A and B are shown apart, each in its own frame.
Chain A
Amino acid sequence: MGKFIFSKEQSAAYHLALEAYLHEQAIARDESFALIYVNRPTVVYGRAQNPYREVDWVQATERGVALHRRISGGGAVYHDEGVLNYAFFVPRRQALVLNYAYFLEPLRAVLRELGLASEILRKSNLYVAGRKISGNAQALGAEVIMSHGTILFSANTELLEALLHSPSAQVDRVAVPSDIACVKNLREILAERGHELSLGDLTQLWLDYLERVGLGGESFQEGSLSPELETLVRQDYLPRFLSRAWNFGRTAPFQLRISTPEALRADYGEKFPRHWQLSIREAVIESCRAADESEGAAALAFGRLLENCPLGYKELRQALAPLGDESVSLWLPAFSS
């Protein structure tokens, strides 16, 4: 008999920390767990991703969307109060490695009961009526597997599409790219077929299925986290997922090409470089050089403003402050457009 835990927290960092704890401590060595949660607006990207490539991180920061790296693979996903997240923790069996269909079966069964057919495409994505409603990823431990995913139910798709753009041509180091797909909210699809459901309704149907039928023949009952476990997660795991070192510093070294904002070129003059090549290591700008052009004194001075500056919103604002607030506001989007 497995346990499911419906978290009332809304912090993505906390849930990522909890997932890491449950996975790394092999809690599911003998008994399966399911964690269900909803986060405040956040973009969560994969273990091996370059967030600067996958996310419009400047816009995310300006719009109050948090950015966090998870322990599993795959691409960047958007979370908000209209996205249901789930994570299964089960004893490791070879047959379950890369077997996303196994972990998606409860959701697919609920959708069938609502009269909706679904298909799994690209191994780990669930589609309904030709649109992606769920992405999934896994982390393998020696004794356990974590398989988790999202259900896009009633998310802010305008914000999702604004922040998760196609791989940036200006970043040269690919790492693991996101699989950009045409998404649609499941609530819309259900409504088109005469089902008016809330996220709470869908969650309850999914949990009822887990209790009644289960996963792979193992049913789940509601459980809870002990206060001691919650304290341990907050003290020992949460700092990692809140840290710049984990969220950004883990990015493999890369080159970033940016352009002088059009609106500022007249002020800077014709000799000021139009394009810049930045070398980024551990999310810090190691160097900033004019790209393919000779450098004058103004160009060298600009490059020096950015050398050793962490590639972060407030850090860039501070480094570029000598240029004046208006110029800084024009420069910032250049770093993630």
Chain B
Amino acid sequence: MKMQVKLPQLAPEMASAVIVAWLKAEGEPVAAGEALFEVETDKVVSSVEAEAAGTLEKILVPAGEACSVGSVVAEIEG
């Protein structure tokens, strides 16, 4: 089952963020709660954990790119 990974809202005023780094590569397994990628917004860097376990199938927003809160940044095959 394909699950969408979205950019979460870390703070009420956050509208977008830059993907700093992917901590997993496409094809790698991911555990629920494991740090999956890092984002930066307003000088804050935060890691974002996977909500469910599976395999990171596709990275849709590469490191260095910005996207809006709620954007689908990757897909996990559960």
Contact = CB atoms under 8 A, between A and B. Distances in A.
B15 to A, nearest CB: 12
Contacts of A72: 43-45
Contacts of B46: 139-140
Given A175-B18, A250-B21, A47 B64 contact: no
A18 interface: no
A176 to B, nearest CB: 6
Interface stretch (B6-14, B24-32, B69-77): B6-14
A189 interface: no
Given A124-B43, A138-B43, A98 B14 contact: yes
Interface of B is mostly: strand
B18 A48 contact: yes
The residue in B13, B20, B43, B45 that gathers the most chain A C-beta atoms within 10 A of its C-beta is B43
B64 A97 contact: no
Contacts of B10: 97-98, 140
Contacts of A140: 10, 44-47
Nearest to A97: B11
A124 B40 contact: no
**Which size bracket describes the interface of A in this complex?**
20 to 34
Query: Which range contains the number of B residues in contact with the other chain?
Result: 20 to 34
A94 B10 CA distance: 8
B35 to A, nearest CB: 9
B64 A73 contact: no
Contacts of B49: 142
Contacts of B41: 73, 98
A71 interface: yes
A71 B18 contact: no
Given A47-B38, A252-B64, A138 B45 contact: yes
Contact of B45 (A47, A75, A250): A47
Given A175-B64, A176-B40, A252-B64, A73 B45 contact: yes
A252 B45 contact: no
Contacts of B18: 48, 175-176
A31 to B, nearest CB: 22
A28 to B, nearest CB: 16
B20 A47 contact: yes
Nearest to B38: A47
B22 to A, nearest CB: 11
A173 interface: yes
Given A73-B42, A175-B64, 8 more contacts: A46-B40, A98-B11, A98-B13, A138-B45, A140-B47, A142-B47, A173-B64, A176-B18
Interface of B: 10-11, 13-14, 18, 20-21, 38, 40-47, 49, 62-64
16 contacts: A47-B40, A48-B18, A48-B20, A48-B21, A48-B45, A71-B45, A73-B45, A98-B44, A123-B42, A123-B43, A137-B43, A138-B45, A142-B47, A252-B63, A252-B64, A253-B64
Please list the 7 inter-chain residue pairs (A to B) with the smallest Cβ-Cβ separation, ordered nearest first.
Answer: A252-B64, A74-B43, A140-B46, A137-B43, A73-B40, A73-B43, A138-B44
